[in-house]
Amino acid sequence: MPLKKKPVTGMKDILPAEMQVRDYVTGLIKETYKSFGFSPIETPCVEHIENLCSKQGGDNEKLIFKIMKRGEKLNLETAQSEADLTDSGLRYDLTVPLSRFYSNNANDLPTPFKALQMGSVWRADRPQRGRFRQFVQCDIDILGEPTCLAEIELILATTTLLGKLNFKDFKVRINERRILKAMASYSGFTEDQYDQVFIILDKMDKIGWDGVKAELIESGYPEANVEKYVTMFDEMEKAEDALAYLSEKLSGVLEEDVIENLRTIRTSVEATAASKFQLVFDPTLVRGMSYYTGTIFEIEMAEFGSSVAGGGRYDKMIGKFTGKDTPACGFSIGFERIITILMEQNFQVPGTSGKKAFLIEKNMPAEKLCEVLKEAKAEREAGAQVLVALMNKNKKFQKEQLSKEGYTEFKEFFCR
């Protein structure tokens, strides 16, 4: 039986043309984020299963690629549960590993600590456009900063990067988990019901308000509570200032600094942004991760039809490792989605138009071959990118293939 040449479902091979774009974007990400003071770090792709299954990752915990125990620790005959078989798994995001990293190395890091992390993550998800089972995430996080300066810096850094990639007129949606909880509390829902209520609210874009209302009632929640909850969103939409409406409506329920923080974020970002985008307050924004405790945000692009980046504040996660809560806020770019858009737009990496190909005839004498190699060396020392390759019989097809890789200049060398 022949070996399988296609990748495993949900994985993909990356051809040179795409790899060139990915390398360029990776370099631009590091350059941009370093200019904002973020320091690169790296964490292992394998994490303790207890960390991954700590009920902080929402539905992603159902998508973990789990790793079986090794050697003498693995005993299939005596195993009675999954815990007897597995002790680790592939990370499903970079936030849980970062929290463990910080907890383990905080004494050697500055406060606040601004981390930049890029790497592959794995989820046993249903593959679709821009979504794979193995994919690259790019995270920036600020640890140890309790004020909204963290959110401002994260939004400015991420939008600056997208501007450098010629994205514009995208939308940054922002909300606060404390607002979501205060609205639910005001409407009569109990704390243990919040997560389910938010899961249903998160479907609003797909099923509309009538669908949200119907599903909440079908889930067994009192109709009066549901009506009160949904009505608030309607009144907020009609209000001239949604934040002012919430400040008055939720007085005594919502913490006093929440509205002021959102106003400060919006004012600061709009006054200093380096790219063109719209920052909007969206009270229906939920974000699926259970670890979010405060501000949450997403970037939405018309080119993709959904979010391409997201993040928020998670002040309680590090405390699960250390017993002491540490302020933390992060923003993650959907790297694969950005690359998908760029490839569909036939994005050309700047500075790749001068690639040269030296095509040499077969059986060229060593003396003449050395002359060609010396010429190529001189071109490279002058800053050019030069490929030296044997000339194919079908030179036209060979040049067409090389043109797809960005080669624009061709020089042929013959034995005679």
Which segments of 165-203 does DSSP mark as H helices, in order? 177-186, 194-201
Q: Are the beta carbons of 187 and 171 closer than 8 angstroms? A: no
pLDDT at 305 over 80: no
| 305 against 2, higher pLDDT | 2
pLDDT at 182 over 80: yes
Q: What is the predicted pLDDT for the residue at 335?
A: 93
When pLDDT is cut at 50, 70 and 90, the band that residue 4 belongs to is very high
| 388 against 54, higher pLDDT | 388
> What gap in Å lies between CA 152 and CA 168, rounded to an integer?
19
Question: Could you give the angle at the alpha carbon of 125 between the alpha carbons of 122 and 127, nearest 5°?
Answer: 105
pLDDT in tens, 7-31: 998 899 999 889 999 999 999 999 9
Which segments of 36-138 does DSSP mark as H helices, in order? 49-52, 95-105
DSSP 123: -
Instruction: Please state the three-class secondary structure of 390-412 as a single string.
Output: ECCCCHHHHHHHHHHCCEEEEEE
Rounded mean pLDDT, 46-65? 85
Residue ranges covered by each domain of the chain: 16-204+254-344, 355-413
Q: What is the predicted pLDDT for the residue at 353?
A: 61
Average pLDDT value over all residues in the chain:
91
pLDDT in tens, 184-237: 999 999 999 998 999 899 888 889 999 999 999 999 999 999 999 999 999 999
When pLDDT is cut at 50, 70 and 90, the band that residue 76 belongs to is confident
| 85 against 43, higher pLDDT | 43
pLDDT at 325 over 80: yes
When pLDDT is cut at 50, 70 and 90, the band that residue 160 belongs to is very high
305 conformational bin, left if phi > 0, alpha if psi -120 to 50, beta if neither: left
pLDDT at 413 over 70: yes
pLDDT at 168 over 90: no
CA dihedral 371, 377, 381, 384 (to 10 degrees): 100
Rounded mean pLDDT, 77-104? 87
Tokens of 161: 């990067």
When pLDDT is cut at 50, 70 and 90, the band that residue 352 belongs to is low
Tokens of 138: 């790019």
Task: Return the number of other C-beta atoms located less than 10 Å from residue 139's C-beta.
Answer: 24
> What gap in Å lies between CA 190 and CA 192, rounded to an integer?
6
When pLDDT is cut at 50, 70 and 90, the band that residue 113 belongs to is very high
Question: 272 exposed, middle or buried (CB, 10 Å; 0-12, 13-18, 19+)?
Answer: exposed
Question: 227 exposed, middle or buried (CB, 10 Å; 0-12, 13-18, 19+)?
Answer: middle
pLDDT at 297 over 90: yes
pLDDT at 71 over 80: no
Rounded mean pLDDT, 159-169? 93
Q: Which range has the top average pLDDT, 88-102, 122-136, 375-389?
A: 88-102
Kindly give, in sequence order, each residue whose CB lies less than 8 Å from that of residue 284, ignoring residues fewer than 6 positions away. 175, 201, 202, 204, 205, 233
| 137 known ligand binder | yes
| Pairing outcome for strands 66-68 and 170-176 | unpaired
| 91 known ligand binder | no
What percent of the chain is modeled with pLDDT above 90?
A: 69
| 129 against 408, higher pLDDT | 408
Q: What is the predicted pLDDT for the residue at 405?
A: 81
Q: What is the predicted pLDDT for the residue at 304?
A: 74
pLDDT at 2 over 90: no
Topology of 16-204+254-344 in CATH? BirA Bifunctional Protein; domain 2 (3.30.930)
Task: Return the number of other C-beta atoms located less than 10 Å from residue 216's C-beta.
Answer: 24
Q: What is the predicted pLDDT for the residue at 374?
A: 94
| 192 against 351, higher pLDDT | 192
Which segments of 12-59 does DSSP mark as H helices, in order? 16-35, 49-52
| 302 against 92, higher pLDDT | 92
Q: Are the beta carbons of 409 and 356 closer than 8 angstroms? A: yes
Kindly give, in sequence order, each residue whose CB lies less than 8 Å from that of residue 297, ignoring residues fewer than 6 positions away. 151, 155, 172, 173, 174, 175, 285, 310, 311, 312, 331
3-state helix, strand, coil in the chain (%, to 5): 45, 20, 35
| 287 known ligand binder | yes
| Pairing outcome for strands 295-301 and 355-360 | unpaired
> What gap in Å lies between CA 345 and CA 341, rounded to an integer?
6
pLDDT at 154 over 80: yes
| 131 known ligand binder | no
Largest CA distance in the chain: 92
| 93 known ligand binder | yes
> What gap in Å lies between CA 19 and CA 27, rounded to an integer?
12
| 194 known ligand binder | no
Tokens of 11: 């994985």
| 291 known ligand binder | yes
When pLDDT is cut at 50, 70 and 90, the band that residue 172 belongs to is very high
Rounded mean pLDDT, 165-176? 93
